[in-house]
Chains A and B, each alone.
Chain A
């Protein structure tokens, strides 16, 4: 699985959009980008994933650059409950690679009132 690089920490004001970047310059053509988050003392929670098109769900939006070497997770209106560690993961097609994900150390997002 490709390696990802994320900033160690970020702050965001409550009610503002939180934009979390991730670099994955060695991503290969069949690898997906996934985002999880982990709130203190809980297990990671799946947020969203994508291959090359931008994706949106009820939690967030995922913007993937055209060359697929980086992506941004967007929380459109951050709340205090969004304070967590956010992990960007790259892994192969789950239909052919049902195994492990490599998490890295993630970005600690702190939403401030």
Chain B
């Protein structure tokens, strides 16, 4: 596709529910990133993939957060037993190669935990 696509665009989850957020990067892009953006703040790094390998997951806030990219293209961010503090916009970004200087971001998934 022409850009990074994320779905769903909006998600409302009850506290304790599991959610899965999908990211379709630009075709052929090797690097994929997930960021979390709380209201009024800048994006915060969660995790990074190079193809199917998860090279950095230092930003995942707890073991309830899990990300995968099994075939090196589509990625899923899963949050188990959601809490209210998980409410945020989850952004996905991709770049053609690890050495690329600029990422292309998707529009994000806004998760609201009630």
Contact = CB atoms under 8 A, between A and B. Distances in A.
Interface residues of A, number: 22
Contacts of A43: 4, 91, 93, 105-108
Judged by DSSP, the binding face of B is loop
A30 interface: no
Contacts of A106: 42
Contact of B41 (A42, A46, A105): A105
Nearest to B103: A46
Interface residues of B, number: 29
A68 interface: no
A102 B101 contact: no
A103 B106 CA distance: 16
A94 B98 CA distance: 7
Nearest to A50: B101
Given A94-B99, A106-B42, A99 B48 contact: yes
